[in-house]
Chains A and B, each alone.
Chain A
Amino acid sequence: MTPSRTRSPASRAAQRWSPLLAGLRGRPFWAQFGGSVAALIVLSAGFQLISGSFLTLGNLRSVVEAAAVPAIIAAGISFVVIMGAIDLSVEGVMATASMVAALLVANGVNTNHLGVLGILLALAVSLAFGLANGILNALMRMPSLIVTLGMWFIGLGTAAVLFPQRVPQIRDDLLLGVARHGLLGFSLVVYVALVFVASAQAVLSHTTFGRMVYAIGGDEALLASSGLRTRGIKIAAFCVSSLFAGVGGLLLSAQLGSGNANIGNGHLFPAISASVLGGTLLTGGRGGAVQSALGALILEVLNNGLIQIGAGPYTRNIISGAVILTAFAASGVHRRQLLRVVK
């Protein structure tokens, strides 16, 4: 910040607000988002050249619609990944949130009609999963990998147990409206995603909580030696991740029009991949919510483009898995010389 004193007021103001764009680390905008944006442009141009129908307004719109929910989940999981931990429980949380909401709002199975309260309760249940993850990891000192693996299946099991005799159709206007109503050509789901990703980034960049999340990812032992309390922060980060997963589950249920115990299937790996593609390294300390959302957008462009050029539905898993491994390897290869222990 010292050099800014010699600059004009305008550039000082620009520097003051640049963290909003450039995130926490004070790096220039392009250093953080350049890679993602370049990848988006290259992929889009490539698919347009091959298929000739990628860059149409209708198709781009469907890409953005499809990327909305993955972007929310990726933004939420970033909080945990930036800390250097991992959250594998998102699919379970999404399933339980979907089922709880579908059974509490007006639906085709029982007489519940709680409306907003039902939605809030479903989000509270999601939050409880995050709380459990955080407590087991931060207070009980168990590795997040195995804790969230257990909670993943507990979530799936809970949703399956809650599942009634037949599919619970959602008849709540508020929940369905989010998927059905639109604004300026996009459904409200897209705007919800924008709000969640933007607030996640704001929290990460401009609150003590957010800075501590980065600090924990940077060097947790140092924080502990400095006497800073990290447990509450860790628990809160897991809560954010689960809450965002719950929101994702609710939005998907709204799009589907019913509660579904398998609604989270296939969302875990893309979410982790998106946060890594966007620059959130698994070792922690870097990245951000906006980067992760851009990563989700890249993955969706890839999926959509692959379908456009005629790759079958099953190659999608194969290619995205391969792309992610390559991206990981490329992002970490310059640190190979260091003698590191990687488990």
Chain B
Amino acid sequence: MTQTFEARGVAGFADTWLPLIRNAGPLLFLLFLVAGSAIIAPGVVQFDSLLSFLSDAAPVIALVIGGTFPILAGSIDLSVAGIASVTGVLVVVLNPVLGPWTSVAVVLLALLFGAMQGFVHTWLQLPSFIVTLATLSILSGVALLLSNATAEPIPSDDVLVGMLGNALAGVPDTAVVLAVMVALLGLLLRFTRIGRDIYAIGAGERAALMSGVHVLAIRTLLFAISAGCAAMAGLFLVSVTSFSSPTLAGNLLLLSIVGVVVGGTAISGGVGGLFAAVVGGLITSWLRVVAVIVGVVPTAQNIIFGVAALLAVAVTTDRKKLGVIK
């Protein structure tokens, strides 16, 4: 009796507390952060500041949502920041050719590019991080080449970017578009066979494969979604800055992955979802606010986010599933 009790005590932490921390922890942490900053600086929780926070946070949240999809299947997409930067550049460069609908075309192009990444990764059986690291290198080169390494103003006639700069009943349109994206992708993940297949691949790819899940198609789709969200993030960014620069989203790579893991999505795959992604994105963006309130020098922010990523992964990784950890 005593032995079983002790054994349960040891395993108990992993079995009972870890899922709880994974599920409720991120949300509690977000509330704690917001409450803490409200006590120090009450101004940050006023309606106006929250609205401007939303448009600041939108690009990061979009990247986190996109990045969640490959990670749910146990892969990773390191190219998202590169895609966001190239999107901004392309909106400027292609405008003379494609006119006001350029940004829509660019998002479609990004979807195609992402699909290609997913296809190459799965069909050629190359690790996703190396494929996307290579495309990150290619994309940063493309961004510099096309923009000639200069920042350019966004053409004023662009439909999508122009729309994103407006506000709907006081709420910035970026937030509205983001909410629509979350709703659509959430429905996809929750109620369609594709969504179930994604979790199946993340939970046990061999079993999923044997059960007839079309892994190649699903993975291709996952990376297309990731790149599409990254392109939207790029549009969100340029709608705020109204300039495109080849290194616009350069510092968002880490933030996007931190956002995924602090939300409770396990880097090992199969655990997490869109709610976790939104909470993670909000935490990451709010951490930047906290850093300003507390007076952390901007240069030190990388340290905070690096440590946050490590802590989050330490808590959320499902070690039982990973027999050998590389």
| Chain A residues with a Cβ under 8 A of chain B | 83-86, 136-137, 140-147, 149-154, 156-158, 160-161, 163, 220-221, 224, 269, 272-273, 276, 282, 284, 312, 314-322, 324-325, 328-329, 332-333, 335-336, 339-343
Contacts and interface: CB of A to CB of B under 8 A. Distances in A.
A163 B299 contact: yes
Contacts of A320: 137
Given A84-B326, A161-B299, A161-B303, A342 B138 contact: no
B268 interface: yes
A312 to B, nearest CB: 7
B149 A314 contact: yes
Contacts of B121: 342
B257 A149 contact: yes
Contacts of A145: 76, 129, 267, 326
A66 B56 CA distance: 41
Contacts of A328: 124, 126, 130-131, 134
Contacts of A149: 254, 257, 309
Given A141-B319, A317-B141, A146 B261 contact: yes
A329 B120 contact: yes
Interface string B299-318: 11111111101100110010
B188 interface: no
Looking at chain B's contact residues, the main secondary structure is helix
A168 B123 CA distance: 49
B23 interface: no
Contact of B303 (A153, A224, A321): A153
Given A142-B314, A143-B267, A343 B128 contact: yes
Nearest to B317: A142
B125 A332 contact: yes
B322 A141 contact: yes
Contacts of A156: 302
A317 B134 CA distance: 9
Contact of B267 (A84, A146, A161, A324): A146
Given A145-B76, A157-B301, 18 more contacts: A83-B326, A85-B326, A86-B326, A145-B326, A150-B313, A151-B306, A161-B297, A220-B324, A220-B326, A269-B134, A318-B137, A318-B141, A321-B136, A328-B130, A328-B131, A340-B125, A342-B125, A343-B205
A240 B125 CA distance: 29
24 contacts: A142-B317, A142-B325, A143-B322, A145-B76, A146-B257, A146-B313, A149-B257, A150-B254, A152-B254, A152-B306, A153-B254, A160-B299, A224-B324, A312-B145, A315-B141, A321-B136, A322-B134, A332-B125, A336-B124, A339-B206, A342-B121, A343-B74, A343-B75, A343-B128
A316 B209 CA distance: 39
Contacts of B242: none
A340 B126 CA distance: 10
Contacts of A224: 324
A339 B210 CA distance: 11
Interface string B69-103: 00001111000000000000000000000000000
B125 A316 contact: no
B133 interface: yes
